[in-house]
Chain A
């Protein structure tokens, strides 16, 4: 059932207006400002659930469509719409942001109004990225998003924050600019065909020669691979994660990385199916390297945030693997069910990783706020002083290692099954994560949580306060729910994923 009011615009502009209101209130009015931030994000989340309840699960068409003239000279429209891929990601965004606001409540003392404002504006822009159906609008929001994140890491980050944030900005900026050239190129192609358009849907139907497709594919791949991030363009992520404040790490891991995966599904696969089929070996091998090699790298980290950052890279490897397995499966035996399964797995993995990695960064934040150290060696025996926290930490650690009944299991399982259908060795290497993921996560838990109380800092720890309990509790429930009963998520995606598989089987040559 479609709504009569522009829900997507509300989801984009409400948080941005809230952010502007916070800037106007300033630090002097922060007592009120905090509530404004919480109210805005909570209402945004409330509204976003309407996307789910009113979603038509029988169609792959864009829903809640909005369209207004924007730049007539470029034939670019303020065009929004969501399908089964965008909707879960938008709800994930609106779900995580209020938690970030709550988690920062008393923790952020330096310029709090700007802190909340940056997150609120960022939320609006991120929703916009997932909702845009016009490529130029998408690109504007995609780039604009970097600005608040740049500020967040740079102002509220750790000791090496300046290095980390400039690296983050330049890396992602460099990745994306060539995508812009590709978009312009395709726009010119649509002009040649008679109807100038920046609509993503028109790009998806645009016939393209193979060498053009390959160049476009590479430019897209640069943009999205940096965002995901894939090995070997992942090096900005550990730096950014380590230096970012807790909220920044959470948003970065939970949502921003997903934009890379989303980009692959929305742009690379349907726009350049033939180039993707040509080059799927590249993406698949990079993904497997990420899963296995980065898994080993995670094992030796001394810094908790860095370890989780590397674990993110390894887990995001499943997203790219699942997305591109489709080509292998279709080429080998025309296995559309397997292809759909891989993409399903990639999507579930994105949502699940958003919840789990967000939760794990919150856990690190809880410890960091108390001890002001991210080093694993500063901890030990936390369970003795913080039993409730330890329970949550173990839950999320198990989810991160892909334990059945948690959301982490569903996505990885789907992708591994799909890779079995393609090639035994893919599945063998992908399944290594079950060992490696368990090894680095559980070893982390063993060193930090269990054992005897390591030092006076740990002995003086206080268990979770109500605020922290709420944040971790909500995430814990979500992780378990999605693990036990993923059907609601899969149902939303099904028609869109089937349509996507249909799109990539048709050559555009």
Chain B
């Protein structure tokens, strides 16, 4: 610690984040001077920034673990993979949202700038090497999301859900921070790799540590939206404008995953037995509540919110296995889930038009009549999300189940699969209204060429990755050897 700080700065490892900060500043400034008419420049610049940051990440790709800023910041293959995936997700989210925002007069710079700062928060979390960096990322992401939910200033519902999200989110952040402080007090370090050693010295079964861990788990569970810390999820998903729901439902899941990995698997890995039993409870409850309550929903965004909760249960299953295989499986699940979720929300955006949100399940009535192609895409997305082969969601499920069966939790696997049958019911209902019911109106599917092309790619990706899941699995295996 006595050597000069500057020697361990290693700025190159953080070049992607530095690039992103600069890009955000530039876009923010440019946006101020743009007229309403030329707002597309912000959109184009944002996409350009994403392409740029991807290039930076790829050219700075690392083979092993590289630390910077005195260990507070790490770059590793897992981080690179997740970052690249997050850029792609955000870019696709922007492109899906473009038409919707324009039609509603919401095509403002804020959406894109807040989206990029949220992404920056995700990037910081991905590269976090210490609890402080983790917290920094969490807050940057959360604050951006609170503002995004409220960015349609005229919508009362959105304002209400932003308020809920903010209040509950602030409490959760406080909980997380409180847990961190207790752990810091007992171990004397914030840095994750030192923490892993220090916990062993202190003793993983020390009551104080378990006390701190409980608060950390509560914070992590809130960010995930796991039961019983899930109350915000349906309200925020439902209340936020659909492009924001699309955003919240996808990229931040990557952040939640890495939050759990960095803090639990890397920092507190000695306490695996303790957090395993906590996560089992969270996972089982999430799967039960998420799946059962989803059945009662008539609003598709709300239904997808509860479905997210149940999928979070599955992601937690992999993590709680506490093995490299489990983390890999969860990673795979997270990536697969993001691909499926972005497609499902994208479908809502595709079908919505001026004065029509298309966010009720009934709004999909007779889609097969109006557009067999997109009905087929939505059907594939729904079956995939339900975990029916031959779609990618099935393999995600298999990977997670394999990981928990391997550590002897066969009963948990049985519970999970039985609950996935409950889940199948509400996804089938969407397929039912699209295929078995007749349309209630004869308005053709609008939506621009980009959205159509992207959704087609998105739907086919679910099928192709379902038939050939090997590539994605290998990618995860390379990121987490």
Contact = CB atoms under 8 A, between A and B. Distances in A.
Given A73-B470, A143-B394, A184-B398, A178 B435 contact: no
B417 A177 contact: yes
A144 B390 contact: yes
A193 to B, nearest CB: 14
Contacts of A73: 470, 473-474, 477
B314 to A, nearest CB: 13
Given A70-B470, A73-B473, A155-B435, A188 B405 contact: yes
A187 interface: yes
Given A146-B388, A150-B428, A181 B410 contact: yes
Interface in B429-460: 431-432, 435-436
B239 to A, nearest CB: 30
A184 B473 contact: no
Contacts of B420: 177
Given A166-B428, A180-B417, A188 B402 contact: yes
B211 interface: no
Contacts, number: 92
A174 B402 contact: no
A26 B371 CA distance: 12
A221 to B, nearest CB: 15
A71 interface: yes
Contacts of A161: 436
Contacts of B417: 177-178, 180-181
A216 B364 CA distance: 41
A170 B477 contact: no
A139 interface: yes
A86 to B, nearest CB: 20
Interface string A167-181: 001100110011011
A169 B402 contact: no
A174 B421 contact: yes
A177 B401 CA distance: 11
Nearest to A143: B389
B419 to A, nearest CB: 9
B402 A184 contact: yes
Contacts of A114: 368, 372
A362 B410 CA distance: 45
A151 interface: yes
A111 B366 CA distance: 13
Contact of B398 (A150, A169, A180): A180
B418 interface: yes
Given A139-B389, A162-B432, A166-B425, A178 B470 contact: no
Contacts of B418: 174, 177-178
Given A114-B372, A169-B428, A181-B417, A140 B405 contact: no
Interface string B36-66: 0000000000000000000000000000000
Chain A interface residue number, banded: 35 or more
B406 interface: yes
Nearest to A145: B389
A166 B386 CA distance: 14
Contact of A71 (B405, B424, B436, B473): B473
Contacts of B413: 181, 184
B401 A180 contact: yes
Interface in B341-364: none
A230 to B, nearest CB: 19
B414 interface: yes
Nearest to A111: B368
Contacts of A187: 402
Contacts of A174: 418, 421
B402 A170 contact: no
Contacts of B436: 154-155, 161-162, 165
A430 B383 CA distance: 41
A143 B388 contact: yes
A74 interface: yes
Given A181-B410, A184-B398, A169 B383 contact: no
A316 B250 CA distance: 48
A152 B424 CA distance: 18
A135 to B, nearest CB: 12
Contact of B432 (A166, A180, A184): A166
A72 interface: yes
Contacts of A144: 388-390
Contact of A150 (B395, B414, B431, B468): B431
A147 B398 contact: no
Contacts of B252: none
A174 B474 CA distance: 30
Contact of B405 (A146, A166, A184): A184
Contacts of A26: 372
B428 A178 contact: no
Nearest to A136: B398
Contacts of A150: 428, 431
Contacts of B376: 23
A235 B417 CA distance: 22
Contact of B435 (A71, A141, A154): A154
A185 interface: yes
B109 interface: no
Nearest to B429: A166
Interface in A112-144: 114, 136, 139-141, 143-144
Nearest to B425: A170
Contacts of A181: 401, 405, 410, 413-414, 417
B469 interface: yes
Contacts of A166: 425, 428, 432
Contacts of B477: 73
Nearest to B466: A140
A71 B470 contact: yes
Nearest to A71: B470
A111 B370 CA distance: 12
Given A170-B428, A185-B405, 10 more contacts: A23-B372, A70-B470, A73-B470, A114-B372, A141-B390, A147-B388, A173-B388, A173-B421, A187-B402, A191-B406
19 contacts: A23-B376, A70-B468, A73-B473, A143-B389, A144-B388, A154-B436, A155-B435, A155-B436, A173-B424, A174-B421, A177-B420, A177-B421, A178-B418, A180-B398, A180-B417, A181-B414, A184-B398, A184-B413, A185-B405
Q: Lowest 9 A-B CB distances belong to which pairs?
A: A177-B417, A140-B389, A73-B473, A154-B436, A174-B421, A143-B389, A181-B413, A184-B405, A71-B470
Interface of A: 23, 26, 70-74, 111, 114, 136, 139-141, 143-144, 146-147, 150-151, 154-155, 161-162, 165-166, 169-170, 173-174, 177-178, 180-181, 184-185, 187-188, 191
